[in-house]
Structure 1
Amino acid sequence: MSKLTPTALAALVLVLFSALAFGQSYPNRPVKMIVPFAPGGASDFVARIIAPKLGDTLGQPIVIENRPGASGNIGMDAAAKAAADGYTVYLGNIGTIAINPAIFQNLSINPQKDFIAITLVAGVPSVLIANPSVPANTVAELVALAKSKPGELNFASPGSSTLNRLEMERFMKLANLNIVHIPYKGGAGPAVTGMLGGETQIMFVTLSSAISFIQAGRLKALGLSTSKRIEALPQVPTMIEAGYPDMVSSSWQGVFVPAGTPRPIVDKLHAALLATMDSPEIKQRFAGGGVDVVTSRTPEDFASFVAAETLRWGKVARESGATID
């Protein structure tokens, strides 16, 4: 068994001491949070609610930077390649972290290797919505309409590799439907805008991206991906009630930092995020948008969750044939 030389031991102690000291002084300037989608979607909704409170907790502002494109891959790539010093954090979600690796054959990074998972922050249920012009007010009526016009209806998605696209693929498989896919770039915001303008007819979308339009009567909600009805939309049935128990799902959001970030900084961010998410104000604002506060006990717990979700949704993505070169 080899022993460390006095010089090597001194160097190791210096490195450990420097990392600890760096963690204690962190942060001493603003922290950038990269959001890989355009404003208006669930990721942006979550980021803009938690950023001010997280900044208060850390003692430095959190500056949001929207980096949309390529189903979130542009922002994810930028975050993974940022300096591992804690001054760039990444708000990843089920699509970019767990689904994209199975769909994009030439993805430039490996989310599980190129990031350190800090904690979950949110769970966002999906809702099946329709443009008011669609002559269907329930899931059963939509299924009957789609069966009577195979290939004539269309559905929007926030991108080819998103959970919402896979939810519709699963729904079509379960109901034996043929509906044309129209993907949008930039996330849920542009997709919802397109539906409001009559470009598309139906879609699964994160509830936070559509709830205000549903409440205003500008979009119709047919079914929720939750296990039970929610307080914000008590009149909307679940997909379980509509006869599709396999359609329960949630688009989670979590915070990551580039691989190599010192452990003291990881721990400080984890503690700050847990304190932030425990705020009654955050919980109230999330609930108003149909979003659940969800956290991870440790970074390791979140990393294990990410690994399991990658296996689960990777299988769904491959079975759907939704791969991109």
Structure 2
Amino acid sequence: MKSRHYLLSIILAASLIPASGVFAQAKKDEYPARPLRMIVPFAPGGASDTVGRIIQPAMAELLNQQVVVDNRGGAAGNIGVEVAVRATPDGYTFLLGNIGTMAINPNYYTKFPYRPLKDLIPITQIVDVPGSLVVHPSLPAKNVKELVAYMKANPGKLNYGAAAPSSANTLEMLAFLQVVGTSAVQVPYKGGAGPAMVGLLANEVHMMFVTFSSSVHFAKQGRVRMLAVVSPDRNPAFPEIPTMREQGLDFTVGSWQGLFVPAGTPQAVVNALFKVGTTMMKDPQVVKRLGENGIAIVTSKSPADFVAFVKQETARIGKVIKDANIQTE
């Protein structure tokens, strides 16, 4: 365990304000003086929960405090984000947000309960999460071409699991159906990708787009069949699976995750958490476990860099929704 003096030195080194300002108060209170809460706005079992639990030990070690994972799933992640937005901005509650909560939801919903870049402060991106197209093994399709042919030969027969109407996975499926010119019945699941994956394993649904990390272990066990990875290159965690592009379809929604704190959090704390957030991603166990799940580590150069990235992603997703003619709510 690293000492609190180490963390306080990070705050002082990272902050541009005098030591007599917020730093002096942080030293007096020995920030962090109590456990921190990581809000994961989805149910256990999905990519966000996986990443949260992988980074938790390394983050706790750097902070010299317990970090509690608090799953608050529901409403496409909006419930968990609202919990984070309403939290006291003192550095003891932070959000593990993703492309869905920060870039897709603002484009998808006409009535929206929070403003990502006004109600929250982006700290740093931490990972890039590739997607995958998986089907239940009972389907005869062995690749994307065969799946499309089967769907067209059996119109209206297949359905797909949807983590939420505005999730990256659902957006990928809607864009896919638009591109290949066919349809399937949407079966919604509450709480994120975890419950939807359970539905696929139980053969309640025939197929779904889902993060690679949520499907790779089941695919290797033969419990689902992975037809494609949705990323520029094959994933080293399962290199046998071709990309969507290799199979003639060049599109991706993509997914990423990052750390956010409530607006009003002191800048010294923001700087300290940025340092901790980027440092923990170099931890050997974090690198190893994320690699086993096919998740790429990507950190921001600064909090301002992450702000610019979120703005860029929000604009990009708006175009994806428009180009795919996806109906918003």
| TM-score, scaled to structure 1 | 0.92
2:92 corresponds in structure 1 to: 87
Once residues 168 and 194 of structure 1 are traced to their aligned partners in structure 2, the CA distance between those partners, rounded to angstroms, is: 16
CA distance in 2, matches of 1:244, 1:17: 57
1:258 aligns with 2:262: yes
Of 118, 127, 141 in structure 2, the residue corresponding to residue 122 of structure 1 is 127
Q: Does 1:294 align with 2:298?
A: yes
- Is this contact kept in 1: 2:156–2:185, CA < 8 A? yes
Aligned partners of 2:177 and 2:183 also within 8 Å = yes
Amino acid at match of 1:275: T
Measured after TM superposition, the shift of residue 292 of structure 1 is 0.7
Distance 2:156 2:115 in 1: 36
Q: Which residue does 1:10 correspond to in 2?
A: none
* Match in the other structure for 1:3: none
Return the match for 1:210 from 199, 211, 215: 215
Give aligned-pair identity as a percent: 45
- The gaps in structure 2 that reach 5 residues or longer are 1-16
- Matched with 1:148 is 153
Partner of 1:134: 139
Structure 1 stretches lacking a partner, 5+ long: 1-13
Residue of structure 2 equivalent to 1:314: 318
Does 2:82 match 1:72? no
Shift of 1:318: 4.4
Which amino acid counterpart does residue 283 of structure 1 have in structure 2?
A: V
Q: Secondary structure at the match of 1:195?
A: helix
- From 270, 275, 279, the equivalent of 1:271 is 275
**Aligned residues, how many?**
310
Alpha-carbon distance in structure 1 between the residues aligned to 2:327 and 2:55: 32
The alpha carbon displacement at 1:317 in A equals 2.8
Contact 2:127 2:295 (C-alpha < 8 Å) held by counterparts = yes
Q: Please name the residue that 1:49 is paired with.
A: 54
Aligned-pair CA distance for 1:16: 8.7
For residue 19 of structure 1, report the CA deviation from its aligned partner.
2.0
The RMSD of aligned alpha carbons is 1.5
**Which aligned pairs between 1:125-204 and structure 2 lie closer than 5 A?**
125-204=130-209
Q: Is the 8 A contact 1:161 1:322 kept in 2?
A: no
Taking structure 1 as reference, are residues 108 and 17 closer, same or farther at Cα in structure 2, changes over 3 Å only? farther
Q: 2: distance between equivalents of 1:16 and 1:258?
A: 23
Equivalent residues in 2 for 1:13-24 (5 A)? 17-24=20-27
Q: Distance in 1 between matches of 2:52 and 2:175?
A: 29
Does structure 2 retain, via aligned residues, the 8 Å contact 1:102–1:318?
no
* Counterparts of 1:183 and 1:159, CA distance in 2: 6
Q: Distance in 1 between matches of 2:173 and 2:251?
A: 12
Letter in 2 for 1:315: K
Paired residues of 1:270 and 1:298 also in contact (CA < 8 A)? yes
Deviations 1:30-77 (A, max 9, x none): 000000000000000000000111010011111010000101000001
CA drift of 1:15 comes to 11
CA distance in structure 1 between the aligned counterparts of 2:20 and 2:113, rounded to whole angstroms: 34
* CA drift at 1:17: 3.8
